[in-house]
Amino acid sequence: MAEAASETKKPHSDLPYAAEYAKSGRASCKGCKEPIAMDDSVIYLKIGEEVNLAFQMCIFLQKALRMSARQPSRFFDGLQDNWFHFRCFWNRLKRNDINEASIRGMELLKWEDQEKIREKIADNKCDHVLFPGVGVRPEVSTSIKGEYARSSRGKCADCKEIIEQDTFKLIMKSSSYHVNCFKSAHASLIPDAESIVGFEDANDEDKKVLIALFGSKAEKKRKADAASKDEIKAKKVKSDETSEARKLKQQLKKQADTMWKVREMFSRCLSKAQMQHILQVNKQTLPEHGGEAKLLDRLVDCAVFGCPVKCERCKDGQLVFRFILYNLKIFT
């Protein structure tokens, strides 16, 4: 059997991340090493305050959302899933390294779980990171001071070379530095030249050097004001969401909610054999692998959107929904 799809994006099987509900309790989280439980909670059908015993067989188990970082397998040609608890997944993720289109199975999740992922993706972006790899600005030392060397006996703590007499040097704790060496080794500890204790005692030429290396308060204030204005504009554009976009989001939520109501009903009321029978009666091919979950995917798609027709060109090909598009399965 061959499979064809007119898609220019990365194939569904090659996406670097995945999201789904735990199918069993056997998998362990690659982050905390604890099992990923199949069920987060149990929802009972109730009448008033009492659990209706006649409906004990209709208990629905709320399956836990799990996420995967997918890597090339050592055992087969393709990517294998490394599963994490939802909370653990985001702790290990590199910043700005994920978006909705990179997550396999995103469109099959409940709407509230899709929204949870979207919030995490937004938090994962680097827009407010002040230093690479660090989430907050390091504490600035208040003990950095500058003065002119009184002799040529002292050495720079960074380059180990002599600091010539009458050269303006920087001192942190008990160590002295050439100005340029301090810039290379500890630039982030000085927010601006004026914050250096002793800056006012430097001559005009050395002040210009310090401002060129570490910037001035006035210059950084201008940049901060400009950045603040840009951020306000960006927020205004973001908040000015069009009515069409809002309407589309409402429609997508309604669609996801409908699909999950149907899915939960089928899951509670139909056996695997009954699902297969319904698909076959409606002239739909059965999935080759994936078990009951894949049967439910195909059955829900048919119930909500209608059964896909046969390919008009080859007459035998079966259209099957898979990751935002319908693939054509051709039997040979």
* Integer Cα distance of 142 and 326 in angstroms: 63
pLDDT at 244 (0 to 100): 78
pLDDT at 147 (0 to 100): 94
* Integer Cα distance of 305 and 14 in angstroms: 27
Q: Which domains does the chain have, with CATH numbers?
A: 2-124 (3.30.1740.10), 145-222 (3.30.1740.10), 259-330 (1.10.20.130)
Spatial CA neighbour of 207 closest among 188, 189, 193: 193
Q: pTM for the whole thing?
A: 0.52
pLDDT at 241 (0 to 100): 62
φ, ψ for residue 17, nearest 5 deg: -135, 160
In terms of C-beta density within 10 A (0-12 exposed, 13-18 middle, 19 or more buried), how is residue 178 classed?
buried
What residue type is 172 in one-letter code?
M
CA atoms within 13 A on the CB side of 29: 21
CA angle 14, 116, 20 (to 5 degrees): 40
332 residues of the chain, pLDDT tens digit each: 333 333 334 555 678 899 998 887 788 899 888 888 876 443 333 333 333 333 333 344 457 899 999 888 788 777 888 999 999 999 878 777 888 888 988 888 999 999 999 999 988 875 444 333 333 344 444 468 999 999 999 999 999 999 999 999 999 888 899 999 999 888 888 888 888 888 999 999 999 999 999 888 887 777 777 776 667 666 666 666 677 788 888 888 998 899 889 988 998 899 999 999 998 898 888 887 778 888 888 888 888 888 887 777 776 777 777 655 666 565 54
Rounded to a whole number of angstroms, the distance between the first and last alpha carbons of the chain is: 6
pLDDT at 48 (0 to 100): 36
pLDDT at 131 (0 to 100): 37
